[in-house]
Structure 1
Amino acid sequence: MILSAFGLLFTVPLSTAVVLRNDQSPDLASLKFNESLQWGACDPNIVQNPSISCAFFTIPLDYHDAHAGSGRIAVAKINATGERLGSVFLNPGGPGGSGLDSLNTIGPELVALGGGHYDIVSWDPRGVGPLTIPGDIFCFDSVEEYNGFWNGTIELNGIEMTGNFTDPADVQALLSQAPIMQKKYEELGQRCMQHPTGKYLKYVGTAATVRDMVALADALDGPDAPINYVGTSYGTLLGSWFINMFPERVGHVLLDGVVNPVSLATQETPYVWDEEAADADKVYEGLVTGCALAGPQACTVAQQGDSAVDVDATIQALLKKAHDATRKNSSVSVTSAAIRSQIAGALYSPAQWAALANTSYPEAVAAVDAESVGITSASGTRRSLRRRQMNDTVSYTTEAILCSDSVDQRGTSMKTILEDVITASRTSSRIASAVWPAPFRYCPFWPVRAVERYQGPFNKTLANKILVASNKYDPVTPLANAQALVDILGDQARLVVQDGFGHTTGSSPSQCFDEVAFAYFVNGMLPDGNDTVCEVDADFEIFNNVNTEDIVAAMTNA
């Protein structure tokens, strides 16, 4: 599968977008940018592919205020292999995903997507990585400081519950954390502002990143050239903002795994997350259905003759046992919250389902069985810290970007947020809704918003039609989001649905989708309507002798 998405003075076009501004009118007269990029070898700690070259590109921190100063973005490029038609820019999502790392991983495949006619260009956006300035956002100086600050809270321990908060004691235990977490999240915001990276918080928003991409396109392809773009997950939000902030510059654009831009512009992010997780349990149903089809020979969770319901019951029994062990001893290393978080993470990629069932599950069973009789393992970990290799501390880049873009604070309390977690576990997803921490939950308490935010409209007249894609069953960007975006854009967009599971079409191989994308980028051809459905390749087995088509058919016939 192709996807899984000096000294020249010039003016970046200022769109007529409806934006929220916190400062004065534009002053670009004194902003200096790179006339050309000086390409060279990449940092081998990040990019190992020798066909990729790297450079730095100077950016203003604020495109509307020259006095704010400048930064730089780390850029990587893999050259076209045939007659060059321009560049295709890639954002892999997150927010906080490294474009350099992604290009290192899938660069050659993206070159093939464009028939070899495009340079593929990606970058670490502002707020991301050790090379871009502003780079990663930190609020603590060490993991130890992080752990000490959050000790004894759900931030480290996760949320313990069974079913979908079936036990009232779990509800009471969670709500008792509300005043503690309210204070902690407010204190976190102040820590982030006071940290050396805090001075950059208002400059890491998506609107500025859109302008960075346009400036970079101007430098590489010329100020009037169409801008070609591939965005996956959060990269679709960047794409939605781009095509509406600069509709006259839209070239070939593919948005895969859509974040609903209208929801983010109008709702607080915790409620946006409830919408984003709407299909997570359907993906989980695919997992347990595939396991049941595979049987115990290929999926150790299943017993001979088990149905999907039986497999789910086995997993829920493990979660209940881990939950009860944690109730007796809060220091156990493998909790129900940790297991649930691992399951939710695996839903992103069907290629991981067999490993989850055949490696992680037996390990969890052994650990929980030991905990149940009073044996704890020092080797277990409750959750994975979000560390950067270049700095042994915890990055808050994802929260900083997401919350910079979010609506203004509306006085929402932590008690309301935790009550929503309980409700969402019953109405949205019992698997994903109670996973904590979650970046979307921070924004009602985050103290900073970006100096520029785009809030619509999202139906501008585009220079060229775009391609929108979605899996039928996506755990964090449901198909309904892609359908909503296409409805907003009308005849200016075409939707392709991949009949499979996971986050973005890149989670499973599909020759059909590759051919659609190739025809679009190379020949400018789009499907005639929005009823195009692509099957996942039949030889992609999720479990031994069980492919996507088998699972979908079993779910449909159930």
Structure 2
Amino acid sequence: MEYYKLFILALAYASTVSYAAPSHDGGPQIQWGACDPSVVNDTSLSCGFLEVPLDYQDPSVGKARLALIKANATGERRGSLFFNPGGPGGSGLSSVNENKDLLLGLSGGVYDVISWDPRGVGNLTIPGEIFCFEDLADYAAFFNSTIELTGIEETGNFTDPADIDALLAQAPIMQKKYEEVGQKCLNSPNGKFLKYVGTAAAVRDMVSIANVLDGPSAPINFVGISYGTLIGSWFVNMFPERVGRVILDGVIDPVVFATQEEALVRHFSILVLGSIVSLILAGIATQAFPGSLISTDTIYKALITGCALTGPSGCAIASEGDGPLDIDAKIQALLMAAYDATKLNASIPLTSGDIRIQLFSEMYSPSDWSNFMNEELPQIIQIVNGEAPENTSQGLSRRSKNGIRSNLLAKRNSDQDENLSFTSPAIDCADSVDLRGTTMEEVFKGIISTTQSTAHLFGSSWPILFYRCSFWPVRSVERYQGPFNKTLANKILVVSSILDPATPLPGAETVARLLGTSAVLVRQNGFGHTTNSEPSSCLKDISIAYFTNGTLPANNTLCEVDADFEVFSGVNTADILAQLPSSDV
């Protein structure tokens, strides 16, 4: 297979300049050397590999091989700091390559920053990326004429009975498709490894790496964002005696994940890293509905409020004198126009479902709001205007339409790369509760209820990877089910934005409450998925003090977003918060 060729090539490349990390227990060593340039272009970084058991309970099954990356400490080294960028399915190698300075800075430069491509991720770890379709064309042909490709069409918060009937009519079709996809994945080249990917394996793999680098009794330091907080919650409770300095940011409620069926809960995540420039890596995190979507409508209000505050000079959709309701009316009219056009012609370039997914993705990154409202949204409006029957000859060229369409599809299928990787659902579903006979009709009824009662604009987003889990045929050989209230060797920091669209504040509050005196909660008074979506010198200083000196802030500390960070021209986060109704924050 191609990934094995790449792996051998990477080994050969790394062996040209390498040195062995000392083994602290006489076991395996890590040969650090140059990184594969097709994955990592920062030559200051080192890469290596480590063999671990595929199944820690049954070593006779065989070995997995982890691809590792290291950024050397810039000061006097105090040990290793492990990092997971989320997903599930985010690449540790790519993330450290792109965010080395940020990670070293937030940890005070006194640790080697270590990450790895977990099982199922990339071409260098074995088992590697999980592909269930030959290519995008194969995927599109398989799901032709289904909501997988068009999204869900609805208007008026799913109050139209015709919209409800149209969705429920697709239930048996989509259930059959998802069951078939599960079998396709089982029959794929990496199908035999599906039961060996998952969060418990990631935790044990991290501990194995730490044992080699720092010793089997050394404290383990970790930063996890989004899905990485699930790894963190499992780690601190599976190995409480090994907990060093740990930050969990954008926190999943681990109790909900361990006890509730994912197809009947609502959760989203696009990975965000970078307190100066938001980096959307892509992926999904888990949180129970209605908890996971409680902030989305408010964050949307923040977006349109910021647009109104900056006015037409800073937001292209605004007219002079527009307030937030005027901006909202224009977006609702856009959705209705796309909805009407789709009813007349199912093959139009952009559906209202496409636009909702695009708009939802913007809730994660306030740093992109200005670009979206000034660059992307006007193009979307132009395409939708061209879809109207009287304007079909005046629309954009097919090439231009396809360009925007491709961008929207990429964001809608954010859990899948250009080759349609199924690593994210493979991990997410392998960790999920056991199959309970849920039908797709039940899933759809939950979506309808969600849209009507809680998340009016985004409740109908589709496809989202976790909807596959009730029809996924595999569960991991090990899944941690709790308890989640262990007493830890050292206190950890649990961090959250007050308005997070994917992992809202209650998830962090739950984890901090369960851990009691072993955790300190810090909130950031802003928007976006994880606190890294907006810059805060307050939170940065807390992070540095914690990692360098072990200093902890007061529990429930509230950090402000930096005033010089402008969401729109002349408009910062505090300006927007001041205009939101108090019930929204």
TM exceeds 0.5?
A: yes
Q: TM-score, normalised by structure 1?
A: 0.92
User: Residue 193 of structure 1 aligns with which residue?
Assistant: 186
Match status 1:496 vs 2:538? no
1:8 and 1:34, CA in 2 relative to 1: closer, same or farther beyond 3 A? farther
- Output the amino acid matched with 1:42: C
Give the C-alpha shift of residue 167 in structure 1. Answer: 2.1
1:175 and 1:205, CA in 2 relative to 1: closer, same or farther beyond 3 A? same
Alpha-carbon distance in 2 for matches of 1:316, 1:34? 61
1:110 and 1:9, CA in 2 relative to 1: closer, same or farther beyond 3 A? closer
- Output the amino acid matched with 1:191: K
Match status 1:160 vs 2:153? yes
Match status 1:487 vs 2:487? no
Which of the numbers 417, 425, 446 marks the counterpart of 1:399? 425
User: Residue 316 of structure 2 aligns with which residue?
Assistant: 300
| CA-to-aligned-CA distance 1:235-258 (integer Å, 9 cap, x gap) | 000000000000000000000000
User: Residue 233 of structure 2 aligns with which residue?
Assistant: 240
Give the C-alpha shift of residue 136 in structure 1. Answer: 1.0
Superposed, 1:1-40 pairs within 5 Å as: 35-40=28-33
User: Residue 368 of structure 2 aligns with which residue?
Assistant: 352
| CA-to-aligned-CA distance 1:381-421 (integer Å, 9 cap, x gap) | 261285999x9621111100000000001000000101111
Match status 1:225 vs 2:251? no
Match status 1:526 vs 2:552? yes
- Output the amino acid matched with 1:378: R
Aligned length: 530
User: Residue 204 of structure 1 aligns with which residue?
Assistant: 197
Which of the numbers 345, 351, 354 marks the counterpart of 1:335? 351
Match status 1:543 vs 2:568? yes
1:37 and 1:328, CA in 2 relative to 1: closer, same or farther beyond 3 A? same
* SS of equivalent to 2:50: strand
Alpha-carbon distance in 2 for matches of 1:163, 1:135? 43
Alpha-carbon distance in 2 for matches of 1:37, 1:473? 41
Give the C-alpha shift of residue 125 in structure 1. Answer: 0.6
Conserved 8 A contact 1:202-1:448? yes
Conserved 8 A contact 1:236-1:259? yes
User: Residue 162 of structure 2 aligns with which residue?
Assistant: 169
- Output the amino acid matched with 1:332: I
Conserved 8 A contact 1:404-1:450? yes
Match status 1:422 vs 2:442? no
Conserved 8 A contact 1:256-1:468? yes
- Output the amino acid matched with 2:36: D
| CA-to-aligned-CA distance 1:298-330 (integer Å, 9 cap, x gap) | 111222222212211110110000110011011
User: Residue 363 of structure 1 aligns with which residue?
Assistant: 379
- Output the amino acid matched with 2:179: E
Alpha-carbon distance in 2 for matches of 1:249, 1:431? 43
Q: TM-score, normalised by structure 2?
A: 0.88
Alpha-carbon distance in 1 for matches of 2:418, 2:158? 36
Q: Which runs of 4 or more aligned residues in structure 1 lie more than 4 Å from their structure 2 counterparts after TM superposition?
A: 6-11, 385-389
Conserved 8 A contact 2:22-2:212? no
* SS of equivalent to 1:95: coil
Alpha-carbon distance in 1 for matches of 2:374, 2:532? 23
Conserved 8 A contact 1:264-1:272? no
Give the C-alpha shift of residue 49 in structure 1. Answer: 1.4
- Output the amino acid matched with 1:537: D
User: Residue 81 of structure 1 aligns with which residue?
Assistant: 74
Alpha-carbon distance in 2 for matches of 1:550, 1:7? 51
Match status 1:265 vs 2:261? no
* SS of equivalent to 1:442: helix
Which of the numbers 223, 244, 247 marks the counterpart of 1:251? 244
Which of the numbers 434, 444, 447 marks the counterpart of 2:470? 444
Match status 1:287 vs 2:303? yes
Alpha-carbon distance in 2 for matches of 1:334, 1:156? 11
User: Residue 398 of structure 2 aligns with which residue?
Assistant: 378
Q: What runs of 5+ residues in structure 1 fail to find an aligned partner?
A: 1-5, 12-32
Alpha-carbon distance in 1 for matches of 2:578, 2:531? 19
Conserved 8 A contact 1:163-1:316? no
Alpha-carbon distance in 1 for matches of 2:180, 2:436? 18
Alpha-carbon distance in 2 for matches of 1:408, 1:73? 28
Give the C-alpha shift of residue 268 in structure 1. Answer: 0.6
Conserved 8 A contact 2:24-2:212? no
Give the C-alpha shift of residue 528 in structure 1. Answer: 2.4
| CA-to-aligned-CA distance 1:76-125 (integer Å, 9 cap, x gap) | 00001111100000000000111111101111121122222100001111
Alpha-carbon distance in 2 for matches of 1:272, 1:90? 27
User: Residue 54 of structure 1 aligns with which residue?
Assistant: 47
Structure 1, 69-78 or 138-147: larger mean CA deviation? 138-147
Superposed, 1:113-128 pairs within 5 Å as: 113-128=106-121
Match status 1:435 vs 2:461? yes
Alpha-carbon distance in 1 for matches of 2:571, 2:328? 18
1:309 and 1:272, CA in 2 relative to 1: closer, same or farther beyond 3 A? same
- Output the amino acid matched with 1:552: L
Superposed, 1:445-464 pairs within 5 Å as: 445-464=471-490
- Output the amino acid matched with 2:474: V
- Output the amino acid matched with 1:402: D
Conserved 8 A contact 1:302-1:311? yes
Alpha-carbon distance in 1 for matches of 2:205, 2:477? 15
Conserved 8 A contact 2:24-2:216? no
Which of the numbers 301, 304, 329 marks the counterpart of 1:313? 329
Alpha-carbon distance in 2 for matches of 1:415, 1:8? 55
User: Residue 131 of structure 1 aligns with which residue?
Assistant: 124
User: Residue 13 of structure 2 aligns with which residue?
Assistant: none
Alpha-carbon distance in 1 for matches of 2:45, 2:349? 42
Alpha-carbon distance in 1 for matches of 2:82, 2:513? 25
Q: What runs of 5+ residues in structure 2 fail to find an aligned partner?
A: 1-19, 267-288
Match status 1:179 vs 2:172? yes
Give the C-alpha shift of residue 539 in structure 1. Answer: 0.6
Alpha-carbon distance in 1 for matches of 2:52, 2:418? 27
Give the C-alpha shift of residue 430 in structure 1. Answer: 2.2
| CA-to-aligned-CA distance 1:26-72 (integer Å, 9 cap, x gap) | xxxxxxx9622111111222211121111111111100111211111
Structure 1, 327-336 or 427-436: larger mean CA deviation? 427-436
Structure 1, 75-84 or 273-282: larger mean CA deviation? 273-282
Alpha-carbon distance in 1 for matches of 2:576, 2:443? 35
Conserved 8 A contact 2:83-2:115? yes
User: Residue 15 of structure 1 aligns with which residue?
Assistant: none
